[in-house]
Structure 1
Amino acid sequence: MRIEIQEYLDSRPEEKLFVRMHPEWYRKLSRSPWELSHLKSAANQFYGRTFSQRLDRFNQRASMMSMLVSMAQAMSAQKSKD
């Protein structure tokens, strides 16, 4: 692997860990170092940093909060009946 790519990975520990967990990237980067931008997008997808993944997590949290609020309202309504 080229020295520039090693220095790039040394400066970004999360991407370095991604390359260690996915050894096919060693081959890709050593054969075609210009695919470094693809590494960044693949690492972002792996770590869940894409916009759609963040939006999905937000929707899940919002639905969980909605469920908790409705459960609390149901409990308080039942408590007021008793």
Structure 2
Amino acid sequence: MEPDTYRLIQQREDIWRFIRRNPQWYRYLTREPNRLSELELASKQYYGKTLPQRLEKTQQNIQMIRLLMEMAGSWND
């Protein structure tokens, strides 16, 4: 693996853990170091950090809060 690529991976803890859990990416980067942006996208998808995933999680949290508020309101009646 190229030293610059390896250094970048070591600096980013999330990517380091992703590669440890998905060792095929180590092979991909050794053969094609220009796939680094593809690795970052795969890592974000794996950890649920893409914008659609974060929006969905926020919506689920809002729904949970609404449900809890409705339940709390029904106890007071």
| TM-score above 0.5, yes or no | yes
1:39 corresponds to which residue? 39
Using the size of structure 2 for normalisation, the TM-score is 0.95
Higher relative contact order (CA 8 A, sep 6+): 2
Are positions 1:7 and 2:7 aligned together?
yes
Residue 13 of structure 1: how far off its partner (Å):
1.5
SS of the aligned residue for 2:64 comes to helix
User: After TM superposition, which residue ranges in structure 1, 4 or more long, deviate above 3 angstroms?
Assistant: none
Q: Where in structure 1 are there 5+ consecutive unaligned residues?
A: 78-82
CA RMSD of aligned residues (A): 0.8
SS of the aligned residue for 1:18 comes to helix
Using the size of structure 1 for normalisation, the TM-score is 0.89
- Percent identity over paired residues: 35
Asked which structure has the greater CA Rg, the reply is 1
2:71 corresponds to which residue? 71
Deviations 1:5-30 (A, max 9, x none): 11111111210111111001011101
